[in-house]
Structure 1
Amino acid sequence: MWEYLIMKLIWVILLTVISASVLAEDSFPGRKLYPSVPFIELDDLYKQINDVVIIDARSKYEYETLKIKSAVSIPLALSTKRFQKRMMTIRQENPEKKLVFYCNGHKCMKSYKAAKRSISYLGLNNIFAYDAGVFEWAKKYPAESLLLGEVLVSPDKLISKSAFTEHLLPGEAFIKNANSEVTILDIRDRIERDGFYIFSGEENSISLDKREKSKLDKLIASVKKSNKTLFVYDMVGKQVRWFQYYLESKGIKKYYFMKGGADAFFDIPLNKLID
């Protein structure tokens, strides 16, 4: 009797451990896709924060919008030569420290790709991926996070997914409602535009590059003064997620983003665009 109960208990424990492991793989897909890259958990990173170098693998704009307070920016998108130079400098300055990459969240693979690049191609060791992402960090440790250059006073300042999606319009609706009564803003960079404009150049084309910041500020001030609704699109619908923080900081409330960005235009049947 006792032997049966003990064996049953062992099986229950084993099944619990296996289920937890499978759930972790589903929740953190990078761990399965990049098994050679070691990862670090949220609380462990916080405990070791003074003994590691935290590296943001996202774009510069995302980094400047919301980041881990002590993080340095080394975007995965850098050229191989520039990425190598930056990483080698970081390693030389911190020979014994762990180098930990992070990006947006569980399904963002930039942290793993940057770590893999550093390990496999640059031959660096003591490289880790923090895969819970910047949002989970900011929610739990707001004092160690910066939002638009300021310490995050409260996680309530973070824009929820629902607060973002309520400002999304499907491509067809976005285009049909983008008339003379609204201000249209294209935030793609010059390379992304490549001569293609959804509204035949009638939109305001201003990238998120720092060099165009004053131009952008001027346009947004004009939109606020006129009380017009702002229609914004990017390339694939991801940059607007971060641009929303800028709009809210400027007091803009009437705005919509094109779901899927400019790429979504090509998924709209032609007959739907012709009145």
Structure 2
Amino acid sequence: MAYTGMEGRNVRRRKRAMTGRLIGTAMLAATLAWLSPSAWATEDFPLREKYESVGLQPIETAELAETLDSVTVVDARSTYEYETLHIKDARSVPLASASFNATVKSLAEASGQPLVFYCNGVTCSVSYKAAIKAREAGLSRVRVYDAGVFAWAKAHPEHTTLLGAPLESADRLIADEQFQSHLLPEDDFYGRIVASTDPLIVDIRSQEQRQGVSLFQMRDRHVPLTTGNRELNGLVQTAMREGRPMFFLDATGKQVRWLQYYLEAQGAEDYWFLEGGARTLYESMGLK
């Protein structure tokens, strides 16, 4: 039906008012959904819902910053990751260490403070598993900083340590783009190795991960990251001096991200990582 004159103008005003109310309601609903704890738990922190069901309470970045003096922060990652980047004054207690239970109990008793465990980020479950293990060891005051070390470093670089020195600025963190620029899919990784005259190939997996198997027909050097950078340093410096490209293999494509901080600190440029690590090679061979 067509409306004319004053009646038409009134109908159009009512339609505009109704449309505005609908838009406003939709925006409000979206805002409330974004602000709701359940949305944060399932979208921004995918592990929270699973572990909150067993009574583990996460701590946010702002709260941790305000209570640093009244909690003991525990880095549950590997020693190598801790030595590369960690929250200032955090204690290194790797989840995989044989003395984990005894060490965390000793820390709790000595400080009289709650323990806050952290690892790499929102998809890393190491901090949650460490907190559960600590509770099983008899500790009740444990929390989890599940935002992880990168979120902390970006928010509080002044309270972050990089390679043994204050981070000072989040600009010193390696961006995803810089990491991706040194990451190669399997065919390109092998192609560069074949095209290189004298490449340095280094398997940085642990003894358990490597299981005595060379994936490069014994052309690679096995230098586990668990041994630190001392053994690796001689190989890297020689390769840089001789202009040899460097290729690094880890278990799943994640350890090399920490190795990159060391390589960049040494001024290395011609280095490459295998996307997905050894897992990619095993999958391409039909192995689990």
| Fold agreement, TM-score > 0.5 | yes
Kindly report which structure 2 residues correspond to 1:19-38, keeping only aligned pairs within 5 A, or say none. 19-21=34-36, 22-25=38-41, 26-35=43-52, 36-38=55-57
CA–CA separation in structure 1 for the residues paired with 2:156 and 2:34: 29
CA–CA separation in structure 1 for the residues paired with 2:285 and 2:105: 49
- Show the counterpart of 2:13: none
Residue aligned with 1:164, SS: helix
Query: Does the 8 A contact of 2:117 with 2:130 survive in 1?
Result: yes
**Corresponding letter in the other structure for 1:136:** A
CA–CA separation in structure 2 for the residues paired with 1:17 and 1:102: 29
- Show the counterpart of 1:168: 183
- CA 1:126/1:173 → structure 2, altered by over 3 Å: closer, same or farther? same
Of residues 58-67 and 221-230 in structure 1, the stretch that sits farther from structure 2 once superposed is: 221-230
Structure 2 alignment gaps of length 5 or more: 1-23
For residues 57-83 of structure 1, the C-alpha deviation after alignment (integer angstroms, 9 at most, x for no partner) is: 11110000000011001111123xx11
Structure 2 residue 257 is the aligned partner of structure 1 residue 241: yes
Structure 2 residue 61 is the aligned partner of structure 1 residue 42: yes
The equivalent position to 1:111 in structure 2, one of 111, 127, 133, is: 127
Give 1:144 deviation, angstroms. 0.5
**Corresponding letter in the other structure for 1:265:** L
Give 1:256 deviation, angstroms. 0.7
CA–CA separation in structure 1 for the residues paired with 2:56 and 2:137: 14
Query: Does the 8 A contact of 1:55 with 1:71 survive in 2?
Result: yes
Give 1:10 deviation, angstroms. 10
Give 1:246 deviation, angstroms. 0.5
The equivalent position to 1:177 in structure 2, one of 157, 168, 192, is: 192
Q: Which has the larger radius of gyration?
A: 2
Query: Does the 8 A contact of 1:111 with 1:131 survive in 2?
Result: yes
Query: Does the 8 A contact of 1:171 with 1:268 survive in 2?
Result: no
- Show the counterpart of 1:225: 241
- Show the counterpart of 1:128: 143
The equivalent position to 2:81 in structure 1, one of 62, 69, 72, is: 62
Structure 2 residue 172 is the aligned partner of structure 1 residue 150: no
TM-score of the pair, normalised by structure 2: 0.84
- CA 1:269/1:45 → structure 2, altered by over 3 Å: closer, same or farther? same
Structure 2 residue 87 is the aligned partner of structure 1 residue 87: no
Query: Does the 8 A contact of 2:108 with 2:114 survive in 1?
Result: no
Structure 2 residue 279 is the aligned partner of structure 1 residue 260: no
Identity %: 38
**Corresponding letter in the other structure for 1:147:** L
Give 1:16 deviation, angstroms. 4.2
TM-score of the pair, normalised by structure 1: 0.87
Cα RMSD, aligned residues only = 2.0
For residues 29-73 of structure 1, the C-alpha deviation after alignment (integer angstroms, 9 at most, x for no partner) is: 221010110111001100111111000011110000000011001
- Show the counterpart of 1:53: 72
CA–CA separation in structure 2 for the residues paired with 1:61 and 1:152: 17
Give 1:18 deviation, angstroms. 4.2
CA–CA separation in structure 1 for the residues paired with 2:62 and 2:266: 34
Structure 2 residue 156 is the aligned partner of structure 1 residue 137: no
Residue aligned with 2:225, SS: coil
Give 1:268 deviation, angstroms. 2.3
- Show the counterpart of 2:96: 77
Residue aligned with 1:100, SS: strand
Give 1:267 deviation, angstroms. 2.4
**Corresponding letter in the other structure for 1:107:** T
CA–CA separation in structure 1 for the residues paired with 2:127 and 2:154: 19
Structure 2 residue 232 is the aligned partner of structure 1 residue 194: no
